[in-house]
Structure 1
Amino acid sequence: MEDAPEQKRILTSLAYHWTEADRAVIRFPKSRSLEYSGLFTDGGMASMGRLALLPLEVLHSILRELDFESLGTMRCLNTQSKDVVGMLPAYRDLATFAHDALRALSATGMLSKYSGKCLYFILCQDRCIGCTGFGSFLFLPTGCRCCFSCIETNPEMVVVSASTAAALFGLANEALRQITIITTVSGDYGISQKTHRKRIRIVSRQEARKVGILIHGSEEEMERAVALGIRRGNVPRENDRLPKVANRSIPQPPCANDTLRFMACTPFPYLNVQRRRIDKGVCCRGCEYNWHRRDEDFPSGYDVSQNLFRKQNKTFLRMNFSSTSKPVVRRGCCGMTIS
C-alpha cells in the first residue's frame, strides 16, 4: 500500500533514512549472495514421513516452533516439504522482508538459536526493548528490538568477549555454554567505522552475570570466587530460571569507540501485517540540520552529545512520522516546517 500524496510530501520534505546507522552494525553488500542459500534450494527426494499425514494447520503449528536453520533443512527434503515450509507465514515473511537479518544470524552462528515463531513475533512488533521509541535493530544475544540510542547507552546491551565474561563472573566452559555466544563478523563498526578483522566470540554481559549469580549462589559468592580465581561450571537445570538482577555493577555507557555493541546488532525492519508493508524507519531532517549546525547555533555549555545527537538519531515509523507532522503547521519533530 502506497503512502497518500500528503504523506509522501511530508516524508520527502521532513524525513530521511539514516544509512550511517545501518553501516554501524552487521550488514552485507547487496551484491553478496545469501549465506543461508541452502534454505532456498530445490527440494530433494527424502520423505516427510508421518508429518505428511497431518493437516496443514497442525503442521504449521509444529513448524513455527522450529529454529530457522531446521526450517531450511526441512524445506530441502522434497517438493512437498518445500511448499509446506514456503507457505508458513513466519518463514515466508522473514525470508522476504528480513533476509539480511537472517544472513547476519547465519554469519554469527545464531540461525539455530531462535524459532521462526520468535523471530516473526519480533518482526511484527515495532517497539525498542529499552525505551518507548521505534527499534530498527535486532540485538542478537537476546533476540530483541532496540534503537540506536539504546545500543549506545542501555546497560543491558553491554557485550564483552566470552573470555572476559568467564573471568568477570567465574564461569567455566560448561557455564559459558548456557549463554548465547556470538561469533563476530569482520568489518567496520560504529559511527567511527572502526575496523575489526579478527573474528571473536562475544556475549551479553548482563546474561553472563545472571548465569554467574545462579551458578555461584549469590552475587557475593560470585565476587568471592572471582577474587580467588575460582571458575565453576555447574550447569543449571532446565527448570531453573535466571534471577532478575540489578544493573548496578554494569558500568556507565562506554565511549563511542566501544564497537562491540554494534557487532552484536543488525538492521531489522518492522512488518505491518495488516498493510503488508515493511518499514525501516525514518529520522527528522530538522534534527539532522541542528546536529550539523551545532557549533554555530548552540552555546558552548549545551550538551551536544546527550541532546542533539540523541534527537538526530531518533527513528520513527513512516506512518507515525506522517501523522505527527500532518496537522496545520506540518512540522517535523523539532519544529521544522515544509518549505
Structure 2
Amino acid sequence: METNLPDTPVCRKRNIRDNTLDDAQLKTRCPLDNGRHNCNPISASFPTNQLDSLPLELIIEVLLQVDIPSLTRFRGLNRRTMQLVNSVRQYTAMIEHCPNIIRAIVSIQVDAFDCSTLYRTLCTSRCSTCNHFGDYLYLIDCRRVCYFCFTELPEYFPLTSHAASRLFTLNAKSNAKSFRKLFELVKPPSILSLPGRYCCGSLTRGGNLQSRRLRLYDRRAVAESLTGSGLSQSDKTNTEPKRFMAIISAPVLLNGGRQVDRGFFCLGCRNEHRDKNKHFRIKYTTEGLSGHIAKYGRVVERIPKIPGTGFMHVKKD
C-alpha cells in the first residue's frame, strides 16, 4: 500500500533523467521469478532434508544474515528453498515494494551487506550524511543518500582499482605487487558496474555512455584500510558517471513493510536553484512535506500565470 498524494501541489518525478541504475533496464537485465511459481506448503509425504530438522524461526534468522545475490541463488535451488526464502517477511516486503533494488543488487554483484541490513536501511528515511530525505541508496555499502551528497561528497565517488592504488604510497617497484596483496586481504566493498548511460541528461537523451563494466570500490573503505597520502583525482561531481553507477532510488518502508512512502517534490520550489533548504532537487516524505509547508507556507498557484504552470509558497499573516 502506497501513501496517498497530499493536498499540497506536489509531483513524484521531475523532468530530469539522472541516468542512475533506475534507468539501466533492470527488468530486462535481471527478471525475477517471484510470484510465478506455486510455492504452497509441501505435503508431509514430500521427502525432507537437513534444513527441515531446524526450526523455521532459526532458518529465517540465518537467511536474514545472507547477502542478496547469495540469497537469490539459494532461493533458486529448488521448490523448498524458494518456499523458505519467500517466508522471510523482510524479503517479501522488499520484493513487493522495491523489486528494482533487488534486481540492481544482483546485477552489479553487491555482497557487502545482508538482507537484514538492506531492510533496516529501507525502513529509515534520512540521508546518512545530512538532514535531508535520502531518496537514493548508495549500493556499495547500503547507505541512504540524497542527491546533493552523492553528487558532491568525495565518499560517494567510488574508485577503480587503478585509482585506489594511488592512495597506497610505496616505492615505485613494490607499489603494484604490494597493493594487490593488501587489496586481496582487505577486500573493500565493491560493485561490478553495468554498461549504459550515467549522469544527468534530458528525458530523451544525455548522460555519459559507458560501454564496459568497471569494478568500483568504496572510497571511504579504501581510505580507512590503506595507508595513503590522499588522492588527487578529477571530479566532475554531477557529471561524473562513476558517481551514478551505484545509485538507485529508494522508497521508505513503513508499518513493518506493509506500506511505502516514495516521497514528493514540492511544486512551490520547482524553480528554486540556489537555496539548498528548499532546492527543486529536494524530495520529501509525507511527514517531511508537512514540516516544509509549516516552515515556508502553503503552496498556491501564481497569478496570472497559465493555470497549473507556476506555484509559490505563501506565508499566513
CA distance 1:87–1:330, change in 2 (3 Å): same
CA distance 1:251–1:318, change in 2 (3 Å): farther
Deviation at 1:86, TM superposition (A): 0.5
Which amino acid letter does the alignment assign opposite residue 119 of structure 2?
Y
Deviation at 1:36, TM superposition (A): 5.7
Percent identity, aligned pairs only, is 20
Deviation at 1:124, TM superposition (A): 0.9
Cα deviation code 1:73-116 (max 9, x no counterpart): 33234433322211201211122222111211122121x33211
Partners of 1:204 and 1:41 in 2: how far apart?
Answer: 36
Q: Which residue in 2 is equivalent to 1:17?
A: 13
Alignment RMSD (CA, Å)? 3.5
Deviation at 1:130, TM superposition (A): 0.8
Deviates more, 1:88-97 or 1:165-174: 165-174
Q: Which residue in 1 is equivalent to 2:148?
A: 149
Q: Which residue in 2 is equivalent to 1:197?
A: 211
Partners of 2:37 and 2:78 in 1: how far apart?
Answer: 8
Partners of 1:308 and 1:203 in 2: how far apart?
Answer: 29
Deviates more, 1:311-320 or 1:131-140: 311-320
Deviation at 1:28, TM superposition (A): 4.3
Deviation at 1:186, TM superposition (A): 1.6
Q: Which residue in 2 is equivalent to 1:92?
A: 92
Aligned residues: 285
Question: Which one has the bigger helix percentage?
Answer: 1
Kindly indicate whether the alpha-carbon contact (under 8 Å) linking 1:155 and 1:250 is maintained by their aligned counterparts in 2: no
Asked if 1:133 corresponds to 2:128, the answer is no
CA distance 1:286–1:63, change in 2 (3 Å): same
TM-score norm. by structure 2 comes to 0.76
Asked if 1:314 corresponds to 2:274, the answer is no
Cα deviation code 1:183-210 (max 9, x no counterpart): 2112222124222222222222222121
CA distance 1:329–1:263, change in 2 (3 Å): closer
Deviation at 1:140, TM superposition (A): 1.9
Which amino acid letter does the alignment assign opposite residue 149 of structure 1?
F
Kindly indicate whether the alpha-carbon contact (under 8 Å) linking 1:85 and 1:91 is maintained by their aligned counterparts in 2: yes
**Residue pairs, 1:1-339, within 5 angstroms:** 8-10=6-8, 13-18=9-14, 20=16, 23-28=18-23, 32-33=27-28, 35=30, 37=32, 42=37, 49-110=49-110, 112-170=111-169, 172-177=179-184, 178-192=187-201, 193-213=207-227, 222-223=228-229, 254-274=236-256, 276-291=258-273, 304=274, 307=275, 311-322=279-290, 324-325=292-293, 330-331=298-299, 336-337=313-314
TM-score norm. by structure 1 comes to 0.71
Deviation at 1:141, TM superposition (A): 2.1
CA distance 1:251–1:74, change in 2 (3 Å): closer
Secondary structure of 2:209's aligned partner: strand
Cα deviation code 1:158-216 (max 9, x no counterpart): 22222111133246223333112222112222124222222222222222121112xxx
Partners of 1:50 and 1:275 in 2: how far apart?
Answer: 31
Q: Which runs of 5+ in 2 are unaligned?
A: 170-177, 202-206, 301-310
Q: Which residue in 2 is equivalent to 1:244?
A: none
Kindly indicate whether the alpha-carbon contact (under 8 Å) linking 1:162 and 1:176 is maintained by their aligned counterparts in 2: no
Kindly indicate whether the alpha-carbon contact (under 8 Å) linking 1:270 and 1:279 is maintained by their aligned counterparts in 2: yes
Kindly indicate whether the alpha-carbon contact (under 8 Å) linking 2:64 and 2:115 is maintained by their aligned counterparts in 1: yes
